Chains A and B, each alone.
Chain A
């Protein structure tokens, strides 16, 4: 599977560490993995493409959508996995325009506003890292059915 992870990359956060752990497993399993992000501090064998996802200006977002479209087509990406609100917005449009499978992980509670309360930009399946985030999305937005939101906790390699 050719997998593209999309992150904001504005600062080093737990979400980046968790994503790096998932990427490590995916590479071990033989998948081709790519990262599109402002930056990615963790050492990784995945191919990194610098895309300023953290830039939320309208024109920057449109440019980011086209950068992702180019990347999806060139690297024959099978599935896109977004890891932040900004990443989900950009990935949603890039995947719609390229008919690519897409899902998001919610690493924290979402700041909800008019659009993301009414339109699902997170994909048909969404991973919440804990129950509280899942409940927030079910209760405060009108766009999810319970089966679309799956709690998958952050994994950690326990064997040292």
Chain B
């Protein structure tokens, strides 16, 4: 090798400085004996008199101070010596790295050293100091002598960075942790967060409705006005994990995605600046409530794509998934459940071009297996009907809701939004 360049990168203060000085005093002379034309370049600051003295007496040592373009120096180096971020940056550029931090000498990043390197953040974190200067000298000579070994170290290091330190893999984990922390904080002072369950919002009550799945728009407006007067603020499930929630939150959910939600609910949401969560089928070919009609429920149109887009754009409506085909998931096999749960998420996310965070179980039927698949599909929330703990944070995959009926009076509405309704029903043995 003609002029090997050993690049050492690190802060020249505190314990890092002690380690760098030890390398230059204890290891460098042995390398120079073997490779008289080798050069030790140190990037980092602050450069003090002690460093300039070393530079003066040992011409093979150069201190460059802080440098902005580290990439340039990494690329010129034969071997890079450092810990933490330095090791990562050099490995990303396919350079062989000798990891040594302020606590421990790890060695060349060959496969047998990878676990120790990861555990100690490339030598910076260890419970005691462990520096093998003789070993380091030998390793450095081996690396400088053997191109195959250098290539192997470069390849191992680069693979490690791709597998475990790539920001594209790391960042989503951090985002999830942020959401979890924010969510727990949001719910820390609230036992019952009212999650109200609606379906249709109609102009006039249908003559025959078997399941009473509607409220009139007059009643809906009264209820929204009630919420405003009582100081409630409507939020969505995504709000729970993405922002600090207001002091008196309430979540309004509307299942199935009826077209009357666009005609009668959406104008009211705009008028009262209220938010709602609508649950849609992933299979966009369905035009009506085909699942309820055979049971005697009047036929009702479902939302059109343009209406959904307009509502989503308003920022007042969040969409969640309600399976592909509105089937009882408890009657299905594992693969079919997965198709209904994961398939509807995928379909809606493609359609809406944004993540779908909640899944409302059709008819509210769920069990441990369905919840597992809901979580696996990537939903944060599973929305049930009459099951789940009274405390929303108790089971995010089985969130209990409060039914809203056409005949719900304002006094009942007061009870249902009181923040103790579910516990009250439980006390009466009705929950």
Contact = CB atoms under 8 A, between A and B. Distances in A.
Interface centre among B92, B168, B171 (most CB of A within 10 A): B171
Given A79-B178, A132-B119, A133-B125, A153 B164 contact: yes
A150 B177 contact: yes
Interface of A: 1-3, 11-14, 17-18, 21-22, 25, 29, 76-79, 81, 99-103, 108-109, 123-125, 127, 129-133, 136, 150, 152-159
Nearest to A24: B167
Interface centre among A17, A76, A156 (most CB of B within 10 A): A156
B88 A156 contact: yes
B174 A154 contact: no
Contacts of B242: 1, 78
B173 A130 contact: no
Nearest to B182: A101
B181 A25 contact: no
A102 B186 CA distance: 11
Contacts of A1: 178, 182, 242-243
Given A132-B125, A157-B167, A158-B161, A100 B244 contact: yes
A22 B171 contact: yes
Given A25-B167, A79-B181, A156-B161, A14 B85 contact: yes
A93 B185 CA distance: 15
Given A79-B178, A125-B177, A131-B119, A21 B244 contact: no
Nearest to B179: A1
Interface of B: 11, 13, 66, 84-86, 88-89, 92, 103, 118-121, 124-127, 161-162, 164-171, 173-175, 177-178, 180-182, 184-186, 189, 242-244
Contact of A103 (B121, B178, B186): B178
Contacts of B118: 130-131, 153
Contacts of A21: 167
A127 B243 contact: no
Contacts of A109: 103, 125-127
Contact of A155 (B66, B171, B244): B171
A102 B181 contact: yes
A100 B185 contact: yes
Contacts of A81: 178
Contacts of B88: 154, 156
B266 to A, nearest CB: 25
Contacts of B124: 14, 108
Contacts, number: 124
Contact of B170 (A103, A125, A152): A152
Contact of B85 (A2, A17, A78, A136): A17
B171 A25 contact: yes
Contacts of B243: 1-2, 78
Contacts of A11: 11, 13
B174 A22 contact: yes
B170 A127 contact: no
Give me the 5 closest cross-chain CB pairs, A-B, nearest first.
A155-B170, A155-B167, A101-B185, A14-B85, A130-B121
A1 B127 CA distance: 37
Contacts of A78: 182, 242-244
Given A11-B13, A79-B178, A130 B125 contact: yes
A68 B88 CA distance: 33
Given A22-B171, A79-B178, A124 B184 contact: yes
A72 to B, nearest CB: 10
Contacts of A108: 121, 124-125
Nearest to B166: A158
Contacts of B86: 14
Given A154-B85, A156-B165, A158-B162, A132 B177 contact: no
Nearest to B126: A132
A159 B243 CA distance: 31
Interface centre among A129, A131, A155 (most CB of B within 10 A): A155
Contacts of A123: 181
A78 B161 CA distance: 31
A1 B92 CA distance: 30
Nearest to A131: B119
Contacts of A159: 168
A102 B168 CA distance: 23
A81 B174 CA distance: 11
A68 B120 CA distance: 32
